[in-house]
Amino acid sequence: MQNDAVYMARALELAQLGRFTTSPNPNVGCVIVLNDQIVGEGFHLRAGEPHAEVHALRMAGEKALGATAYVTLEPCSHHGRTPPCADALISAGVKRVVAAMQDPNPEVAGRGLFRLQQAGIEVEHGLMMAQAERVNQGFFKRMRTGFPYLQLKLAASLDGKTAMASGESQWITSEASRKDVQQFRAESSAILSTSATVIADNPSLNVRWSELSNGIRQEYPERDLRQPLRIILDGHNRVTPDLRLFSLPGDILLVRTERGDERWPDNIEKMVIPAHNGGIDLVVLMMQLGRRQINTIWTEAGPTLAGALLQAGLVDELVLYMAPKLLGDDARGLCKLPGLSALSQAPEFKLADVQQVGNDLRLRLLPQT
Ligand code: AOF
Ligand code: ZN
Rounded to the nearest whole angstrom, what is the distance from the C-alpha of residue 256 to the centroid of ligand 1?
A: 33
Dihedral of alpha carbons 162, 167, 173, 177, sign: positive
Distance CA 160, CA 172 (A): 11
Residues with Cβ within 6 A of ligand 1?
25-26, 28, 44, 47, 51-53, 73, 75-76, 80-82, 85, 103, 105, 108
What residue spans of the chain are helical by DSSP H?
Answer: 4-16, 52-60, 85-92, 111-118, 129-134, 137-145, 175-187, 195-201, 216-219, 282-291, 303-311
- What are φ and ψ of residue 11, in 5° steps? -65, -35
**pLDDT tier, 262 (very low <50, low <70, confident <90, very high otherwise):** confident
Determine the residue of 16, 19, 25 to mutate for testing ligand 1's pocket, defined as the one with the most ligand atoms within 8 A of the Cβ atom: 25
**Taking the chain, what is the end-to-end CA distance rounded to the nearest angstrom?**
38
Report residues near ion ligand 2: CB below 5 Å. Answer: 51, 76, 85
Supply the residues annotated as catalytic: 53
Rounded to the nearest whole angstrom, what is the distance from the C-alpha of residue 231 to the centroid of ligand 2?
A: 30
Mean pLDDT of 61-83: 94
Q: Whose CA is nearest to atom 18 of ligand 1?
A: 76
- Find out whether 42 is annotated in a ligand binding site: no
Candidates 179, 148, 154, 188; CA nearest to 302 is 154
Domain ranges of the chain: 3-135, 137-367
Rounded to the nearest whole angstrom, what is the distance from the C-alpha of residue 75 to the centroid of ligand 2?
A: 5
Ligand nearest, relative to CA of residue 79: 1
If you average pLDDT over every residue of the chain, what do you get? 92
Q: Which residue has the higher pLDDT, 211 or 126?
A: 126
Q: Whose CA is nearest to atom 22 of ligand 1?
A: 51
For the ranges 191-195, 203-207, 314-318, which has the lowest average pLDDT? 203-207
Predicted ipTM beyond 0.95 = no
Residue 1 in contact with residue 205, Cβ under 8 Å?
no
Rounded to the nearest whole angstrom, what is the distance from the C-alpha of residue 170 to the centroid of ligand 1?
A: 40
Dihedral of alpha carbons 168, 169, 174, 178, sign: negative
**pLDDT tier, 221 (very low <50, low <70, confident <90, very high otherwise):** low
pLDDT of 259 above 70: yes
Superfamily grouping for domain 3-135: Cytidine Deaminase, domain 2 (3.40.140.10)
Q: What angle do CA 58, 19, 96 make, to 5 degrees?
A: 40
**pLDDT tier, 219 (very low <50, low <70, confident <90, very high otherwise):** low
- Find out whether 326 is annotated in a ligand binding site: no
Most trustworthy range by pLDDT among 172-181, 279-288, 325-334: 279-288
Candidates 65, 119, 71, 72; CA nearest to 97 is 71
Ligand nearest, relative to CA of residue 55: 1
Task: CATH number for 137-367: choose from 3.40.430.10, 3.40.50.2300, 2.50.20.10, 3.20.20.10.
Answer: 3.40.430.10
Ligand nearest, relative to CA of residue 47: 1
Dihedral of alpha carbons 193, 182, 306, 22, sign: positive
Which strand ranges, in their side-by-side order, compose the sheet holding 96-99? 37-43, 29-34, 68-71, 96-99, 122-125
For the ranges 17-21, 114-118, 258-262, 361-365, which has the lowest average pLDDT? 258-262
- Find out whether 158 is annotated in a ligand binding site: no
Candidates 192, 73, 201, 48; CA nearest to 132 is 73
- Find out whether 235 is annotated in a ligand binding site: no
Mean pLDDT of 255-278: 88
pLDDT for 168: 72
